[in-house]
Every structure is written in structure tokens, then in C-alpha cells.
Structure 1
Amino acid sequence: MNIVILDDYQDAVRKLACARKLDPYPAKVYTNNVKGVGQLAVRLRDADIVVLIRERTAITRALLEKLPRLKLIAQTGAVGPHIDVQACTEHGVAVAEGVGDPVAPAELTWALIMAAMRRIPQYVANLKHGAWQQSGLKAASMPPNFGLGMVLRGRTLGIWGYGRIGRLVAGYGRAFGMRVLVWGREASRVQAAADGFEVAPDKAALFRDSDVLSLHLRLTDETRGCVRFDDLATMKPTALLVNTARAELIEPDALVAALNRGRPGMAAVDVFESEPILQGHALLRLENCVCTPHIGFVELDSYETYFSAAFDNVVNYIKGTPTHIVNPGALQVRRPLQSRSSSRPTPL
């Protein structure tokens, strides 16, 4: 069975220790990303199994209709809306869910908070151009001495979304001597209160009172666009908005407009509506926005965890004992294994 691993931007997967699990099987790794259904159909035409790296490639009904050979999608991490599970079931394509770990994205969130609040990226960039102790950040819309940066101790950390990642970030805030203010669903607010954190009276207070506001919501129909320009406009001109969750939580163009108007004064983002982003992306042009290329889960330990689980699902499927299938109905309609002459993929 031919295995294809998509979107390994750093050519890291084949060097992982867990990659040895696929040694007995033909596999090909692609290090670039293609978006069009036609291009993907050509790339995947000989694939029996596709391994997805998070949400980097969408599996749509239109694509599935062009892939009669495909039998299994092995997802690294949780299955999300990037996979049309219903269409997969109808086409006999099983979807195996992986595992995740909240530590890496939580730590990246905290790294971005510290870097942005102390203006580290701006200081580093200017130092490389010969400017000593210059962060820039002197636009007329910014408060006096905004470029100096600020410590975290004694300031308010707002957390919207108190799941596994949000809980860790809240704990980091407490360790740094911050007032932690939580908002979310009722169950999240109850849990936050039980953990000893202050619960915001409403969403408006969360945006108004936070010096740092970090988003940790799942993307659903309900949460899509839940952060509006009017919400951002109520934030302090010295405040920092952090989004390591999903770009679509913020209504389109609202963050760029808000940053240009100085409320909030700064943002740090790891996620974008379309990825990879282009060099001229509006957020990249703003000096008061720190951008990273969706690396919340991109570190060695997480990769070993994610891919080890995905490769276990692949091997178990090949051996006839499929595991962690989210659409077991697909196993009843899948086509039998078929032999087809084609160019052999390169080994992993």
C-alpha cells in the first residue's frame, strides 16, 4: 500500500525516531503545499493512505471523488473541519484520529507573550541594523514610551477558552504574578473558579480589563468570527492580543484595522486564515504585530508524539486491525485492496 505524507515543510518527519515504524512500507513525503483540487488529485492519485499534518491540507468531497484508490486518512492530532468526514464515509475512506499534547502550544503562547510585551523581536531586528536599544514603536497612535515594553507581574492576563491549553497558560500567568481573568462557556467558567481563578463578569469586561488577552477557543460555527472589531476597540492602547488558536476566531480584517487604530496596541499571532501566508500579508507589515508561522505544535517532542500515534494507526490498518477510526461506517464500504502499477514512491 502506498503511503503519502503531506506538507512536511521542514523535511523533519523522515528523521523522526518513530518514522522507523513505516520502514516496511512504501511512503513518499512532500515538503511543499499545494491547494488546488486538481494538483492534490495528481499528487495523491496513487495513495492508498494519506497522513495529514494537522490542518495543512483540506480533504473535501470534490477531492475524494478524484481519489478512488484512497482508503485511509491518518490525522496527526484531532480530526477537525478540514476533513469532510461524512464524504469520507460515503466514499469508504476511513479517518483515523491521532493524539495531541497541550504543552507545546501553551509554551509558545507564553513565549509570544513575553517576547511581545518586552518588544524583543523589534529590539533584535533593529540591533541587526545597528540601532542600540531601539524598538521603534513610536507611531502617533501609540502611547508615550510604548516602545520600552512592560513586565507582566501585577498586570491582568485574560484567557478566553479554558480548555487544556488555556489552563496551562492561566497557570503560567499565576506563576508570573499576574491577575488571571477567565471567560468562556459556563462549564469553563465553573472549572476556572474551582481552580482559584477570577471569572470575568462578561466578555466586555474581559476585553476592557486585560493587559494581555489570549484566545484558546476551538473553531466552530459558533466561535467563528466571535472576536469583532468592536471588541478589539475596547481594549487598552497598551494591551496585547495573542492568538495561537485559530485565525478565523477573529472576524476578517478586524485585527489589522484595530492595530492600525491603536487598540490593542500590540498583537502576537501564530495562525492565519490561509497558510502558508504570502510575504506581503498585512499583519507582516505592521511593526506592532509579532508573527510566527503556525509553530504552536512544531517542536521535536510534539512531532514524535503526533506522528508515532498516526503511524501506529497506519500500521494497524494495514494489518487489518484499524484503530481510532472516527467513521467506522467507512470500513463497511471500503474497496478491497487493489494492485496497480505505477511509479514507486521513495521510501520514507
Structure 2
Amino acid sequence: MLEATPLTCAILDDYQGVATTLADWSPLRDRVALRPFREGFTTEDALVAAIADCEIVVIMRERTPFPAALFARLPKLKLLVTSGMRNASIDLAAAKAHGVVVCGTASGSAPPVELTWALILALARRVVPEANALRAGGWQTSVGADLAGRRLGLLGLGKIGTRVARIGQAFGMLVSAWSPNLTEARAADAGVALSVSKAALMAESDVVSLHLVLGDSTRGLVDAAALALMRPHALLINTARAGLVDGLALQAALAEGRIGGAGLDVFEIEPLPADSPWRSLPNLLALPHLGYVSEANYRTYFTEAVADIQGFLDGAPVRVIG
């Protein structure tokens, strides 16, 4: 009896080269041949050439979009696994039309919460400039900002925003929140004040942090007018989605020193081009989309990806999206 030929599984955008070591892939042995890729693909043609023979593809969040045109060029694809249970860069209708099952994984909220506070604290206490100055022979070159008694304004009060609020309260900050659908009861449940408007929150806050889902009603929510309302010393933090902020308007505000600084972990184009203005703007602490990049999250992603693939092969897909 001839053994079945293993299916080929591409693992895309495995930047750190850890996909095959942070999970036990042995349950798929003899059934699936793994093909990890550490580098991203700059064109759709290059991506198709690399994975056209793959029946299974595992992707990391929105690093590589899967629009309808891509599904049409991958006739062998049968299963697409994404980290997380929501991925706006996948055309689910196109996947269904092409007979592709889409599955997801759990995703912890603690890592992005922790990174949000890493950015806030680093900016407020000027951690990076002071560390660089010390290495260069300097000593105490600036005066840090206090958080206790200052106002933290949250655009979005979901699971992540609520946890960010609790930490702000632990630091002795006054916490306000606003979003298009936030109610006074929901804000009260989280122990924060409901801001009367987005404009009021932008104008009154010493730190503004974004924790919203990107959609038609939230795209460009922080625009030039909103940035103009911010205090000259105020900080803007975005670990959610780049599209929530008008990037050109924020670049101008930073370049002209109209706000105290910004901490960004998300960008419209990722990885950032080498000549991107985001790499050199003053008062900007930029990170390469590390919000969900933690050992615990990665173990969950890849362990559940294995389970998704195993379930699909056994005829019982789990965590199906759409």
C-alpha cells in the first residue's frame, strides 16, 4: 500500500525563525511538510511563486494580506490558518468562494497591554535618550515627566483598553475614555470617566492611547484637527492599528514639535521602508509591531495552528473563521 504524499504547509513571515521551535509539530509528522519563510515578500508574484504548490498556509496576523486576487492565484490552497480569530486582511468571502477553510487561534491581550505601558513609561521618563546619553558618557541630560496626577485618555475601552486603564489608575493617573459606541455604564464598570467627546479627550489628556478596532467609523479618527487639540507636552500612543491615525498629520505634528511625543508600534506599510520618515522623526519612539510578539503568545499561536491543521486533516476543522 502506497503512503499518502504529505501536504505542503508554508509558514509565512516567521521573522524570528521560531515557528517550528515554539510548538510541537510532531502530530503532523508524515502528513505535512513544513516550509517556513523568515523574510516577507515584496510582491504578490514573488509570494505566489513561493507557495503556489502549498495546500496549507499559516500566516501571522496581517503581515501578509490575502485579498481575493491572491486566492484566485493559489488553486491548490485548501487551508489558511491565521494567528488570532480576527484578521481584516483576509477576504473571507473570496476564501469561501475558492473552497479555502480559514481557521484562527487564541490571542492573549496581556502582551499589547504591557507594550503600551513600555512606550508610555519610556517616553515619559525619556528612557531611550537617557540610555543613549549614558553610553556616550553623559549623565542626567533631561527631566522626566510625572504620570501620577496626570490624565490618561483612552480611545477605546475594550479588553485591552480596560487593562491599560487599570494600570494607569495604579500609577495614580486620572483615566478618561471615549469611543463612538462607549456608554456611561460601560465606562463606570471599568472605573473610568466617560469623556463627553473625542475632542474633549484629546484636549484634556496628558497621554492619549488608542485601543480601537479599525473600521469605516474609526479610520483616520485621530486626524489633523484632533492632533491640534492636544497639549504641547502630551503623548500619543498607538499599539492598535495604524489606520486609526492620519499618518501625515502626525508626522507634521512631531516634526514641528506641536506635541510632546508619540509611541508607535503599528504602521501602514510593514516592515517600514528604509527611507521611511518614521525612522527619523524627533520625539518618536517607534517599534516594529511587537505588541503581540511574546513567547507566550507565539506558543499559543503555533500550538493552536498545529491543532487547526490536524483537525482539518482529520475532517473536523476547529476554530473556523467566517
* TM-score, with length taken from structure 2: 0.94
Q: Indicate conservation of the 8 Å contact 2:148/2:172, yes or no.
A: yes
2:304 maps to: 309
Determine if the alignment matches structure 1 residue 52 to structure 2 residue 59.
Answer: yes
Which of 80, 83, 94 is the matching residue for 1:87? 94
C-alpha distance in 2 between matches for 1:36 and 1:187: 40
C-alpha distance in 1 between matches for 2:224 and 2:15: 33
Determine if the alignment matches structure 1 residue 231 to structure 2 residue 237.
Answer: no
Judging changes above 3 Å, is the alpha-carbon distance between structure 1 residues 19 and 113 closer, same or farther for their aligned structure 2 residues?
farther
CA apart distance, 1:184: 1.2
1:301-340 superposed matches below 5 A? 301-327=296-322
Q: AA paired with 1:57? A: T
1:109 maps to: 116
Q: AA paired with 1:41? A: V
C-alpha distance in 2 between matches for 1:186 and 1:301: 32
Residues 233-274 of structure 1: CA deviation (Å, up to 9, x unaligned): 111111110000011111231110111232321000000111
CA apart distance, 1:289: 0.3
Q: Indicate conservation of the 8 Å contact 2:23/2:302, yes or no.
A: no
Task: Show structure 2 runs of 5+ residues with no match.
Answer: 1-6
C-alpha distance in 2 between matches for 1:116 and 1:210: 15
2:257 maps to: 262
CA apart distance, 1:189: 4.4
2:18 maps to: 12
Q: Indicate conservation of the 8 Å contact 2:11/2:35, yes or no.
A: yes
Judging changes above 3 Å, is the alpha-carbon distance between structure 1 residues 21 and 104 closer, same or farther for their aligned structure 2 residues?
farther
Judging changes above 3 Å, is the alpha-carbon distance between structure 1 residues 263 and 188 closer, same or farther for their aligned structure 2 residues?
farther
CA apart distance, 1:284: 1.8
1:197-276 superposed matches below 5 A? 197-276=192-271
User: How many residue pairs were aligned?
Assistant: 315
C-alpha distance in 1 between matches for 2:87 and 2:194: 29
C-alpha distance in 2 between matches for 1:93 and 1:43: 18
1:35 maps to: 42
Which of 70, 76, 81 is the matching residue for 1:74? 81
Q: Indicate conservation of the 8 Å contact 1:183/1:189, yes or no.
A: no
Q: Indicate conservation of the 8 Å contact 2:254/2:282, yes or no.
A: no
Q: Indicate conservation of the 8 Å contact 2:255/2:282, yes or no.
A: no
CA apart distance, 1:188: 5.2
Task: Show structure 1 runs of 5+ residues with no match.
Answer: 135-146, 328-348
C-alpha distance in 1 between matches for 2:28 and 2:165: 39
Q: Indicate conservation of the 8 Å contact 1:244/1:269, yes or no.
A: yes
C-alpha distance in 1 between matches for 2:86 and 2:55: 19
Judging changes above 3 Å, is the alpha-carbon distance between structure 1 residues 131 and 103 closer, same or farther for their aligned structure 2 residues?
same
2:3 maps to: none
Q: Indicate conservation of the 8 Å contact 1:213/1:240, yes or no.
A: yes
Judging changes above 3 Å, is the alpha-carbon distance between structure 1 residues 185 and 222 closer, same or farther for their aligned structure 2 residues?
closer
Determine if the alignment matches structure 1 residue 195 to structure 2 residue 190.
Answer: yes
Judging changes above 3 Å, is the alpha-carbon distance between structure 1 residues 251 and 58 closer, same or farther for their aligned structure 2 residues?
same
C-alpha distance in 1 between matches for 2:182 and 2:223: 23
Residues 92-118 of structure 1: CA deviation (Å, up to 9, x unaligned): 111112211110000100111101100
C-alpha distance in 1 between matches for 2:132 and 2:80: 42
- Which one has more relative contact order, counting CA pairs under 8 Å at least 6 apart? 1
Judging changes above 3 Å, is the alpha-carbon distance between structure 1 residues 189 and 261 closer, same or farther for their aligned structure 2 residues?
farther
| Off by >4 Å, runs of 4+ in structure 1 | none
C-alpha distance in 2 between matches for 1:19 and 1:231: 48
C-alpha distance in 2 between matches for 1:18 and 1:206: 46
C-alpha distance in 2 between matches for 1:118 and 1:302: 28
Structure 1 vs Structure 2: percent identity of aligned residues? 41
